[in-house]
Amino acid sequence: MPDESHFATAPELVPVPDDYAPYSRTSLKQYQERYRRSIEEPDAFWTEELRRLDWIKTPTEISNVNWDPDNLSIEWFADGVLNVSYNCIDRHLDQRGNDVALIWEGDNPGLHSAITYRQLHNHVCRMANELKKIGVTKGDRVTLYMPMIPEALYAMLACTRIGAVHSVVFGGFSPDSLAGRIKDCESEFVITADQGVRGNKPIPLKENVDRAIEIAGGVKAVLCVRHTGADIGWVEGRDFWHHELTLQVDANCPPEPMNAEDPLFILYTSGSTGKPKGVLHTTGGYLLWAAMTFDTVFEVERGEVFWCTADIGWVTGHTYLTYGPLANGVTTLVFEGIPTYPKADRFWEVCDKHKVNVLYTAPTALRALMREGDALVEAHDLSSLRLLGSVGEPINPEAWAWYHRVVGKGKCPIVDTWWQTETGGCMITPLPGAHDLKPGAASKPMYGIEPALVDGEGHFIEGEGELTGNLVIKRSWPGQMRTVYGDHKRFAETYFSTYRGLYFTGDGARRDADHYWWITGRVDDVLNVSGHRLGTAEIESALVEHVDVAEAAVVGYPHDIKGQGVYCYVTLNAGVEPTAEMEAELKAHVRKEIGPVATPDVIQFAPALPKTRSGKIMRRILRKIAENQLDALGDTSTLAEPGVVDDLVANRPQG
């Protein structure tokens, strides 16, 4: 018999804490009324929302959308004119010029700085003029390959100031991956730094850029920020030092008037499911979605500090590190380092040091920090925190409960925000003062979002009670991507052809009897065991409830009798050795929690799981290993540590 004392479970319902009342801006009633209005009277709703931004020409058209895959076209606020950097900087100068726009915390805990909105204006204008000087013009694609330093945000905003389209590539990618992205969007300009530093280790950014340019070709100019001062290679005539050019340019750069539908940025998805897609977002709709969702979900007031731990190489680093906070004129924290350097308490140290009010991070980071024990959290004063957020993967209830209890001391709501690179911002999330929380549930749709469930044939699954199916969205919203850069056909095929006329998210979901939405994992990952459809996320959650289990990933593999069998990869906490008893316990626990059909067939204990650079588990590779298709692992270029795969293959249980 399993010893149930080895398993920790989360509460099923956590009411809005009383401690949150002073911060709450939206009650349940207000949410319900605004949501109703956003769906029933969208034109009136969006006409009001438009006032969040400063327009050079206020749009009169709201939306013009055709989701038919053969005539796919999406426009919002099409006759509007605005500039993103103006909205994120200039318009705050009168009232908030001396407010801190960004706090920078270096990898080295001794380094930090604060930049006011007025200083930000100066830096961004200068960098915009530098870009002009090296030949960048409106519409050009500029690739950013940057460490997490203030100049990374200056560079993004400088592009938007002159109407250039940025494509930020995560600074941990290899020269090959960088080259692929430079080529894909035909980018002639790169902004980088001599080196990055993470966990006290230098990252040879400029060297990687040089190699990527050799591979990709076509790059005319490189703007390089001096960060560590390391010796680097230099191509005269192509490479320019930011610190030199900045002395030669004016500190004023008029913002370029942009059409709402002009491209704003390209960003490649993380590649969990295959070759990354160059997601294109446009100016007006994206910025409004970023500004509105940031304000609605996080309720950050002037003077508060918001910390999103995502890298700018991911969409979260675009929408909630950069554009959302700055469009709302509040303070965003930019962290260069990693959660475990110098020690595994860095997050908590930074929260304490900068008196962070809202922390927004990913389940992968939380699971890693949870492994390190509570004492590291408790050693710091976290009383400034009032709200916690999660994004990137389903958060298993055990990690949720730990985040809530140990980090939030039971007084901070947790917003588990479901969204995608493609959606531009939050789509399904609780609002902190409005919704009682259910650990593990993304909860309720954002204004303007109409989620629905369909079966394999595209028939709506409707009715009261609990429903499960493929998650689709029924109507467009302003922050929706407009195309896959250079491949509109792939855009139509990927998102609008599976279920004609609906946006297909690729994720599976469950809507419970209270109309709370739960993301059950990617549809490709849903198992069909003896005719039962099982979400991988739920089996993984059950496994992770074991006190010694740090992380788990579940995939299917062909099974003679059941159709698919349940194959579980399990990583144990540091210092714990796997035993046959533990294996039996885990199997019995899953059986008890989810049901006999979900009982694991195979458990492979693994020191680590293959992840994307953004920290997501790559289940498609695990599936191939489970299926014993070792020569068909697919695109592995976005893997963080390729060696992990070799280890899994070598230790695959035979049978």
Tokens of 156: 């993004």
> Does residue 479 bind ligand ATP (CB under 6 A)?
no
- DSSP code, position 108: S
Q: Pick one of 2, 106, 389, 392: the residue that binds ligand ATP (CB under 6 A).
A: 392
The kind and range of the H/E element at 33 are helix 28-40
Q: Give the angle subtended at the CA of 196 by the CAs of 277 and 231, to the nearest 5°.
A: 125
- 363 vs 565, beta carbon nearer ligand ATP: 363
Give residues 298-357 in contact with ligand ATP (rule: CB under 6 A): 315
3-state secondary structure at position 328 = coil
- 476 vs 541, beta carbon nearer ligand ATP: 541
Gap between the Cα atoms of 187 and 334, Å rounded: 26
> Does residue 177 bind ligand ATP (CB under 6 A)?
no
Tokens of 312: 């700018």
Q: How many CB atoms lie within 10 A of CB 117?
A: 25
Gap between the Cα atoms of 432 and 413, Å rounded: 6
Radius of gyration of the CA atoms of the chain, in A: 24
> Does residue 525 bind ligand ATP (CB under 6 A)?
no
> Does residue 421 bind ligand ATP (CB under 6 A)?
yes
Q: How far is the CB of 633 from ligand ATP (least distance, A)?
A: 15
> Does residue 276 bind ligand ATP (CB under 6 A)?
yes
> Does residue 266 bind ligand ATP (CB under 6 A)?
no
- 255 vs 506, beta carbon nearer ligand ATP: 506
Tell me the DSSP string of 182-251. Answer: HHHTT--EEEEES-EEETTEEE-HHHHHHHHHHHH----EEEEE-SS-------TTTEEEHHHHTTTS-S
Q: In terms of Cα–Cα distance, which of 604, 583, 609 is closest to 653?
A: 604
Tell me the DSSP string of 455-500. Answer: -TTS-B--SSS-EEEEEEE-S--TT---EETT-HHHHHHHHTTTTT
> Does residue 623 bind ligand ATP (CB under 6 A)?
no
Q: Pick one of 519, 526, 590, 622: the residue that binds ligand ATP (CB under 6 A).
A: 519
Q: Is 418 annotated as a binding residue?
A: yes
Q: Is 420 annotated as a binding residue?
A: yes
Question: Is-contact 443 517, C-beta < 8 A?
Answer: yes
Interaction pattern, residues 350-389, with ligand ATP; x per rule: CB under 6 A: ----------------------------------------
Q: Pick one of 63, 83, 167, 273: the residue that binds ligand ATP (CB under 6 A).
A: 273
Q: Is 634 annotated as a binding residue?
A: no
**5, burial (CB in 10 Å: exposed 0-12, middle 13-18, buried 19+):** exposed
Q: Pick one of 116, 270, 536, 571: the residue that binds ligand ATP (CB under 6 A).
A: 270
Q: Is 548 annotated as a binding residue?
A: no
Question: Considering only 83-91, 139-147, 226-234, 267-275, which stretch makes contact with ligand ATP by CB under 6 A?
Answer: 267-275
Q: Is 143 annotated as a binding residue?
A: no
> Does residue 541 bind ligand ATP (CB under 6 A)?
no
Gap between the Cα atoms of 311 and 170, Å rounded: 7
Q: Pick one of 116, 143, 272, 361: the residue that binds ligand ATP (CB under 6 A).
A: 272
Q: Is 348 annotated as a binding residue?
A: no
Q: Is 419 annotated as a binding residue?
A: yes
- 435 vs 616, beta carbon nearer ligand ATP: 616
How remote is the C-alpha of 92 from its chain's centroid? Answer: 27
How remote is the C-alpha of 323 from its chain's centroid? Answer: 14
3-state secondary structure at position 18 = helix
Gap between the Cα atoms of 246 and 250, Å rounded: 8
> Does residue 536 bind ligand ATP (CB under 6 A)?
no
Gap between the Cα atoms of 58 and 51, Å rounded: 9
Q: How many CB atoms lie within 10 A of CB 108?
A: 13
Q: How far is the CB of 319 from ligand ATP (least distance, A)?
A: 11
> Does residue 167 bind ligand ATP (CB under 6 A)?
no
Q: Pick one of 255, 271, 439, 600: the residue that binds ligand ATP (CB under 6 A).
A: 271
Gap between the Cα atoms of 449 and 241, Å rounded: 45
Taken in order 375, 380, 381, 386, the sign of the CA dihedral is negative
Question: Considering only 272-280, 407-415, 539-547, 551-559, which stretch makes contact with ligand ATP by CB under 6 A?
Answer: 272-280
> Does residue 96 bind ligand ATP (CB under 6 A)?
no
Q: Pick one of 148, 370, 442, 449: the residue that binds ligand ATP (CB under 6 A).
A: 442
Q: Pick one of 384, 420, 497, 573: the residue that binds ligand ATP (CB under 6 A).
A: 420
> Does residue 394 bind ligand ATP (CB under 6 A)?
yes
Question: Is-contact 533 470, C-beta < 8 A?
Answer: no
Dihedral, CA of residue 426, residue 118, residue 93 and residue 148, to nearest 10: 0
Question: Considering only 199-207, 225-233, 392-400, 456-464, which stretch makes contact with ligand ATP by CB under 6 A?
Answer: 392-400
Q: Is 591 annotated as a binding residue?
A: yes
Q: Is 416 annotated as a binding residue?
A: yes
Question: Considering only 217-225, 331-339, 419-427, 644-652, which stretch makes contact with ligand ATP by CB under 6 A?
Answer: 419-427
- 418 vs 605, beta carbon nearer ligand ATP: 418
> Does residue 417 bind ligand ATP (CB under 6 A)?
yes
> Does residue 278 bind ligand ATP (CB under 6 A)?
no
- 17 vs 363, beta carbon nearer ligand ATP: 363
Q: How many residues make contact with ligand ATP (CB under 6 A)?
A: 24
Give the chain's end-to-end CA distance (angstroms, integer): 25
Q: How far is the CB of 442 from ligand ATP (least distance, A)?
A: 5
Give the pairing type, strands 467-473 and 517-522.
Answer: unpaired
Gap between the Cα atoms of 305 and 319, Å rounded: 16
Contact residues toward ligand ATP (CB under 6 A) are 269-273, 276, 315, 391-394, 416-421, 442, 505-507, 519, 522, 616
Q: Could you tell me which residues are annotated as the binding site for Mg(2+)?
A: 544, 546, 549
Q: Could you tell me which residues are annotated as the binding site for ATP?
A: 392-394, 416-421, 507, 522, 533
Q: Could you tell me which residues are annotated as the binding site?
A: 198-201, 316, 392-394, 416-421, 507, 522, 530, 533, 544, 546, 549, 591
